[in-house]
Amino acid sequence: MNEFGRRVIVALIGAPLAIGIIWIGGAPLATMLGALSAVAAWEFYRMAQAGGATPLAAIGVVLSACIPIGVHGQLLGVLTVPMYAWVLSVLAVLGLAIWMRGVDGKPLGAASTTVFGALYTGATLSFAYVLRYHNYAVGETAGALSVLFPVVLTWASDTGAYFSGRLIGGRKLIPSVSPGKTVAGAVGGVLVTVAATYAFTYGLLVPKAQLAFTPTGIVVFGVAISIIAQVGDLAESLLKREAGVKDSGTLFPGHGGVLDRLDSLFFVLPAAYALYDWLLIPAPGAR
């Protein structure tokens, strides 16, 4: 089977499963996010090691997986994680580096890479859970759509950039980081994302979730999400360049690893939460 066929099969299995879990929310969603965070962190630490860093990988993987679970408990009110606990966990990583890395084991880089890896994966993916229970998202349908909206727009941006780049070609965007990306592709990604924002807003958000944007808000949201998604993609490409690897992993046949599939969402999910606070409004006539 060629790469395209493998991609299609993985998408046909993975997409409905992910959508179903997002729709259910609660513990299943937190568990999925924790598992994805753990695998993504593991891939990140492998790349970091390939680039010469010495992270405390096992500790970072556990920390990354615990963040979505902690957010779930916090929002349910059954688990209270005070700010000092998060700060102490960061300091604990540096403390452990004393014995686990020592002077010759690059302790500063080890501790920094460990903490960053957990935040880059677990903390950012936790925003999918927070979006699911956003203040504006009243009801199961609205909650699920508030998560799926930025996910769909990220896919639209990636698809628009891919086909625009292939059809038009031209000047490379940042060839030293990602040789295949073009300026035309980046612009095409933005335009497709704005169109998808309009379609999703009036096709689903307004009638199903009683949520909307102003016309200006649609453009701002679509442009911002596309640019942020492309930056997230480039950021992971930069990490892979430093590590000298083509893919972060092989978990998804034809797609690479978790980092390869979620690189844009690490940036998009927290950005979408901030943009919702700024731009999202009740749909006209909504109660």
Tens-digit pLDDT profile for residues 57-69? 999 999 999 999 9
**Which of 112, 133, 154 is the last residue before a domain boundary?**
133
- 189 CB-near residues (< 8 Å, 6+ apart): 156, 157, 158, 160, 161, 164, 226, 229, 230
For 17-37, what is each residue's pLDDT tens digit? 888 999 999 999 999 999 999
Average pLDDT over residues 240-244: 86
Runs of H (alpha helix) within the chain: 3-24, 26-50, 57-76, 83-100, 107-118, 124-132, 140-168, 183-200, 215-243, 258-279
Domains contained in the chain, number: 2
For residues 164 and 114, membership in a common domain is answered with no
For residues 143 and 127, membership in a common domain is answered with no
For residues 193 and 223, membership in a common domain is answered with yes
State which residues form the domain around 44: 1-133
Average pLDDT over residues 46-55: 91
Give, in degrees to the nearest 5, the angle at Cα 230 between 229 and 235: 100
Nearest to 249 by CA among 69, 36, 15: 36
For residues 100 and 19, membership in a common domain is answered with yes
**Which of 108, 133, 158 is the last residue before a domain boundary?**
133
**Which of 83, 113, 133 is the last residue before a domain boundary?**
133
Give, in degrees to the nearest 5, the angle at Cα 108 between 267 and 119: 20
For residues 13 and 155, membership in a common domain is answered with no
For residues 121 and 186, membership in a common domain is answered with no
Amino acid symbol at 11: A
Question: Using CB atoms within 10 A of its CB, is residue 191 exposed (0-12), middle (13-18) or buried (19+)?
Answer: middle
For residues 2 and 24, membership in a common domain is answered with yes
For residues 173 and 105, membership in a common domain is answered with no
Paired residues of 122 in beta bridges: none
Q: In this structure, are residues 251 and 257 in contact, taking their beta carbons and an 8 Å threshold?
A: yes
Q: In this structure, are residues 54 and 101 in contact, taking their beta carbons and an 8 Å threshold?
A: yes
Paired residues of 252 in beta bridges: 256
Using alpha carbons, list the distances in angstroms from residue 84 to 91, 108, 175, 279: 10, 21, 43, 32
For residues 43 and 158, membership in a common domain is answered with no
Instruction: Supply the pTM of this predicted model.
Output: 0.90
Of the listed ranges 32-41, 224-233, 247-256, the least confidently predicted one is 247-256
% residues pLDDT > 90 (the chain) = 60
Using alpha carbons, list the distances in angstroms from residue 128 to 99, 147, 151: 36, 6, 9
How does residue 244 score in pLDDT terms, banded at 50, 70 and 90? confident
For residues 103 and 171, membership in a common domain is answered with no
For residues 185 and 266, membership in a common domain is answered with yes
For residues 123 and 175, membership in a common domain is answered with no
For 129-145, what is each residue's pLDDT tens digit? 999 998 877 788 899 99
